[in-house]
Structure 1
Amino acid sequence: MENQPISKEQVIELLKDYNWMINEIARERQLLPYIGGKLTSTYGSEATMPKADHGPTDPVYREVERREEKSKYCQKLEAKVAYIQSGIPYIKEEREIVVLECMLDGLSMIKISYHLGLSRRNVYNIRERIAENMLQNAQFAHFAQTLQQDKVKA
């Protein structure tokens, strides 16, 4: 797949998913306090001895693989969250800030429209402007490229 820039629809999707991604990252960090590195160290003559072939039938090996996959998944979510977080300071209009904060807190567009006393269409238009502002900022190029690379790998 070619390296295409992130689209406005993808930014909107990230905004909608932000709240659950934060919750999932927190949950994963709690369940996997140790990520990366070797689980055990060997020293002395034991380090030079032949090791058993740990294949797919070894339960410890499968658990290590499962944790490694969870770690990669968590890193992917963290990159997406970092993209949105890096764009927050560039939203300047007061209504956009309120809509953005409500979205990041997990409120639906209907609840946001009730909260602000605006029509749903107006709230959707504000959301579109937020996504456009995030895309227009040149400092997002690195994050967008990282997200695109993760998409290609997946």
Structure 2
Amino acid sequence: MLKERTLTITPDALDSMITDYHWMVNAIKEMRSEMVIGAKTAQYGIEATLPKAVGSVGDPIMQEAIRRSKNIKRVAEYERKLLEVQMLIDRVTGDREMQVLNWMLDGKSKRWIATNMGLSHTHIQNIKDNIVEQMVG
């Protein structure tokens, strides 16, 4: 179950989350699929006998465990940000604002949205500012 939000999101942070939403979704998909694939192939033959780099853990299994641990933390952080945005979507009113928001969450640029809506990109920026204001307020 989700905990109730205790932190207030700043407009700038929310703006950044909306902009980054699409690539974070893709990154989560990619990281999860990588977690399923498994560890890298072990070295055999001459490669196994060559000297290893100094200054890091020599055990490749431990290296992989550390990398995966960091990866899991990154996925959790992205998921938290996505949930924050998803919880605030219902606050947006207006058909135009909803369409702009959905296209932004799909990864469309402001110029692409402006072209397809027949508006200027600065007008789209104003609509985005209005969306952020509605979501925060």
Question: TM bucket by the smaller chain?
Answer: 0.7 to 0.9
Tell me the amino acid that sits aligned with residue 77 of structure 2. K
Question: How far, CA to CA, are the matches of 2:36 and 2:92 in structure 1?
Answer: 34
Which consecutive unaligned segments of at least 5 residues does structure 1 have?
35-54, 137-154
Tell me the amino acid that sits aligned with residue 12 of structure 1. D
Greater relative contact order: 1 or 2 (C-alpha under 8 angstroms, separation 6 or more)?
A: 1
SS for the counterpart of 1:75 is helix
Task: Measure how far apart 1:96 and its partner are.
Answer: 0.4
Tell me the amino acid that sits aligned with residue 19 of structure 1. H
Task: Measure how far apart 1:57 and its partner are.
Answer: 2.0
SS for the counterpart of 2:87 is helix
> 2:73 aligns to what?
72
Question: How far, CA to CA, are the matches of 2:29 and 2:92 in structure 1?
Answer: 26
Task: Measure how far apart 1:56 and its partner are.
Answer: 2.5
C-alpha distance after superposition, 1:17-54 (max 9, x if no partner): 110000000111111139xxxxxxxxxxxxxxxxxxxx
* Length, aligned pairs only: 114
> 1:119 aligns to what?
120
> 1:59 aligns to what?
60
> 1:88 aligns to what?
89
Which consecutive unaligned segments of at least 5 residues does structure 2 have?
1-6, 38-55
Query: What percent identity do the matched residue pairs reach?
Result: 32
> 1:30 aligns to what?
33
> 1:16 aligns to what?
19
Tell me the amino acid that sits aligned with residue 92 of structure 2. I
Tell me the amino acid that sits aligned with residue 104 of structure 1. L
Tell me the amino acid that sits aligned with residue 62 of structure 2. Y
Note closer, same or farther for the CA distance 1:11–1:75 as it changes in structure 2 (3 Å cut).
same
**TM-score (normalised: structure 2):** 0.77
- Moved segments of 4+, more than 3 Å: none
Task: Measure how far apart 1:64 and its partner are.
Answer: 0.5
Task: Measure how far apart 1:6 and its partner are.
Answer: 2.8
> 2:10 aligns to what?
7
